[in-house]
């Protein structure tokens, strides 16, 4: 009784020229994507940012932060916002928990400091309105 499996079926493990071409294409695409996102990321940290200061949903001020922006402190009622080398923070606040003060410095688009008790928000955003706050949309 012969139960041995036929050994004639050989799996070809050597890549064909097509496989190499596809692999090269995938690698090139990955490199292009990586460069795209890296350059975008670099742009969002070093480019101009818009700092929006708002309270109760009302915009108090919009400050454009550039590389040459002067360091300054701005007072909004009981809140003091400090700007230093493109970084921004709530320096002092009247709230009890001081969570917003403890949040510390923000410097990237999309970051924000929120004081819930006072409904006081400092948000950093990219000045380009077409720039979505997400990288990839999966449908």
Binding-site ranges for Zn ion (CB under 5 A): 93, 95, 100, 115
**Phi, psi torsion values for 21, nearest 5 degrees:** -60, -45
Smallest separation (angstroms) from Zn ion to the CB of 71: 22
Opening angle at CA 65, ends 60 and 66, nearest 5: 160
Smallest separation (angstroms) from Zn ion to the CB of 82: 14
Smallest separation (angstroms) from Zn ion to the CB of 93: 4
Q: How far apart are CA 132 and CA 129, in angstroms?
A: 8
Question: Measured from the CB atom, is 55 or 84 closer to Zn ion?
Answer: 55
Question: Measured from the CB atom, is 54 or 69 closer to Zn ion?
Answer: 54
The burial of 83, by beta-carbon neighbours within 10 Å (0-12 exposed, 13-18 middle, 19 or more buried), is given as: buried
Residue 59, strand partner residues: 54
Question: Measured from the CB atom, is 40 or 102 closer to Zn ion?
Answer: 102
DSSP state of 40: H
Question: Measured from the CB atom, is 50 or 95 closer to Zn ion?
Answer: 95
Smallest separation (angstroms) from Zn ion to the CB of 61: 18
């Amino acid at each position: 009784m012969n139960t041995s499996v036929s050994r004639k079926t050989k799996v070809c493990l050597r890549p064909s020229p097509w496989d190499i071409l596809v692999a090269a294409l995938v690698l090139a695409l990955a490199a292009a994507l990586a460069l795209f996102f890296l350059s975008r990321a670099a742009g969002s940290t070093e480019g101009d940012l818009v700092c929006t200061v708002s309270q109760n949903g009302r915009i108090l001020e919009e400050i454009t932060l550039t590389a040459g922006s002067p360091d300054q402190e701005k007072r909004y009622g009981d809140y003091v916002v400090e700007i230093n080398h493109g970084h921004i923070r709530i320096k002092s606040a009247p709230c009890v928990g001081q969570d917003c003060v403890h949040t510390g410095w923000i410097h990237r688009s999309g970051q924000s400091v929120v004081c819930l008790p006072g409904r006081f928000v400092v948000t950093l955003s990219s000045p380009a309105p077409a720039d979505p706050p997400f990288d990839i949309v999966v449908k």
